[in-house]
A and B are shown apart, each in its own frame.
Chain A
Amino acid sequence: MQPARRRSVVDVALQGNAVEVDAVAARAKALNRLRVGDMIFRALTRTAAIGVLVILGGVIISLIDGSLPAFRAFGLNFLFEERWNPVTERFGALAPIYGTLVTSFIAMLIAVPIGLLIAVFLTELCPMWLRRPIGIAIELLAGIPSIIYGIWGLFVFAPFLQETLQPFLIATFGNIPVLSTLFAGPPYGIGMLTAGLILAIMVLPFVTSISRDVFEAVPPVLKEAAYGVGCTTWEVVRYVVVPYTRVGVIGGVMLGLGRALGETMAVTFVIGNAHKVSASLLAPGTTISATIANEFTEAVGDLYTSSLIALGLILFVITFIVLAIARYMLLRIERRIG
């Protein structure tokens, strides 16, 4: 079918005005067919593009619809209530929200400085021939599915922390007033600190690759000028590269934060799933996504299910805001550089 139609296109295009009447009619018909085909294709692509918006709209509407019973039953108290009791059907989202924020905060606290330093290494220090392989290796780290991090965290990382880092933290900070509450309790292995550390490993590649991309976009003239007046490599990074790319770096960090907030499987394995707000980072806790993953299929009763969907809505709203800010920041630096 294709060759025949292609020939007709060429014929139509090459034939001049001096054609006979039925040829003209045939030409008009062929042209019309092509125009209709073109319109249909355009409409199809447009529908698909609108479809992307429909998906987002669908997500929002279905989450709101599903969470209505919970919000009707608990009101805004849902956000500030710690209790999570399936038996008495009293639900509050405070513990999961707290856990989500704390684990993500730990993750960013570790991943951002390390990620930036790796980006500095890749753009300023690394010999040319090594840049691509290391860059690819870091990006492969980003491609490893989160469940792999989860199983590794549960069987390898958590026991390792239980025997090394956690006793050390308890022993070191046990007598210092504020820090002793942060690192109180027995070393379970699993808990919020472990989840935060695993999230840090997961987020690291995102922060690294975006920071590297924006660092690379700094005009060489700026750096050369700084080197020319005698700056050290670090001073060039600190006073030229970072200020110039600040918006982009923040965008990359926010993107990583979006990932950390919504990450499910890696956290579910090691968080301990306890609906408790505890000051100690070593205590088991829960996050929004871990709660949903753990309890959704076992949830009986509309209110229980609805409360879990309400958690999903909260998570979606938080990540949407964070990701929107990230994209906005990255767009701004793209415009400035591009």
Chain B
Amino acid sequence: MDSRLYAARRRRNGIMLGLSLAATLLGLGWLVVILVVLLWEGFSGLSLAVFTEMTPPPGADGGLLNPIIGSLILTVLAVLIGTPIGILAGTYMAEYGRYDRLSSVVRFINDILLSAPSIVVGLFIYEIMVAPLGHFSGLAGAVALAVIVIPVVVRTTEDMLILVPDQLREAAVSIGTPRAFVIAKVCYRAAKAGMITGVLLAIARISGETAPLLFTALNNQFWSTNLNAPMASLPVVIFQFALSPYQDWQKLAWTGALIITFTVLALSITARALSATRKPS
């Protein structure tokens, strides 16, 4: 056999596999670099004042209390609005209409909504809630986030319910349990961990969302829990402060970024741990 051909093939194999190793190191390297920079820049600004004081005017001391509370309110509201709708829709697709036409259409559309640009969602909510009412509001921000929550929850609910063995349903039906009870008492219980994972992933997704809030909840320099008024949120404040020319605002932006990143990482790691055995795609 031609030993030169062998050597060439082996060399090519070595080069390509070396490249794939290098690519992996590069990919992981970015994660490390980003986290290190975040820690470096964010930690130096982290203090108790960040959690107890309002956002300052330029040049003064202050914290991020009102955007943190605003983000919490918006997130909780969005989850409260989005989760029931998402779970119900996912239930229909997995339980009642697993093979019907409506389900396959909804599945397709839902997958598209799942990765649709979030700024478009902001425009949509602006058109239906902000423009008619004539003012920005925290409620509009929460609804915009809910629109992002729904597809995530629909997807995981459906995936998880489909994993529930049919024997469980059949056993329940055979003792005369109505369908709604089978779903609520048997299927939901069996799929609970997965469904909670879905909600956690949805929270992780929206806690860093900025684009849909820019022209729905807008921003608020002051303490406000009024849902009818503009409301501060962490991502929007980071956006505003980071692009400002003031040093201490930029510093607060980094600290806010650190808080968001670790919230999101903690949420996704918890979600992953919950569904360690089965990975939804």
Contact = CB atoms under 8 A, between A and B. Distances in A.
Contacts of B150: 51-52, 55
Contacts of A12: 176
A9 B89 contact: no
B260 A323 contact: no
A309 interface: yes
A118 B24 contact: yes
Given A45-B95, A147-B210, A154-B242, A137 B180 contact: no
Interface in B229-268: 235, 238-239, 242-243, 250, 253-254, 257, 260-261, 264-265, 268
A316 B116 contact: yes
B128 to A, nearest CB: 6
A296 B214 contact: yes
A13 B172 CA distance: 11
A18 interface: no
A265 B111 contact: no
A273 B256 CA distance: 24
Given A147-B257, A152-B38, A316-B117, A234 B12 contact: yes
Interface stretch (A30-38, A83-91, A161-169): A30-38
A42 B102 CA distance: 14
Interface stretch (B62-70, B119-127, B190-198, B220-228): B119-127
A172 to B, nearest CB: 21
B112 A292 contact: no
Contact of A49 (B34, B84, B102, B112): B102
Interface stretch (B13-21, B43-51, B53-61): B13-21
A140 B147 contact: no
B268 A143 contact: yes
A151 B261 CA distance: 12
A186 interface: no
A320 interface: yes
Contacts of B16: 120, 234, 237
A48 B24 CA distance: 42
Nearest to A327: B111
Given A48-B92, A213-B281, A155 B250 contact: yes
A238 B215 CA distance: 48
Contacts of A140: 31, 265, 268-269
A327 B89 CA distance: 20
A315 interface: yes
Contacts of B30: 141, 201, 204
A94 B65 CA distance: 41
B140 interface: no
Interface stretch (A59-67, A69-77, A278-286): A59-67
A301 to B, nearest CB: 14
B53 to A, nearest CB: 21
Contacts of B88: 44-45, 47-49
Interface in B101-133: 102-103, 105-106, 108-113, 115-121, 123-124, 126-128
Contact of B261 (A42, A148, A259, A323): A148
A37 B250 contact: no
B183 interface: yes
B243 A269 contact: yes
A145 B272 contact: no
Nearest to A62: B127
Contacts of B20: 117-118, 120-121, 124-125
Contacts of B89: 45, 48-49, 51-52
A258 interface: yes
Given A233-B13, A297-B214, A151 B238 contact: yes
A103 interface: no
B119 A145 contact: no
B127 A156 contact: no
Nearest to A144: B261
A269 B177 contact: no
A234 B37 contact: no
Interface string A196-212: 00000100110010000
8 contacts: A12-B176, A144-B208, A144-B261, A146-B210, A150-B242, A232-B10, A262-B117, A296-B126
Interface of A: 6, 9-10, 12-13, 34-35, 37-38, 40-42, 44-53, 55-56, 58-59, 62-63, 65-66, 113-115, 117-118, 120-122, 124-126, 134, 136-141, 143-152, 154-156, 201, 204-205, 208, 213, 232-235, 237, 255, 258-259, 261-265, 268-269, 289, 292-293, 296-297, 308-309, 312, 315-316, 319-320, 323-324, 327
8 A-B pairs with least C-beta separation: A145-B208, A262-B117, A13-B176, A48-B88, A45-B92, A117-B23, A232-B13, A41-B180
Given A59-B124, A233-B13, A264-B117, 4 more contacts: A53-B105, A55-B113, A262-B115, A320-B112
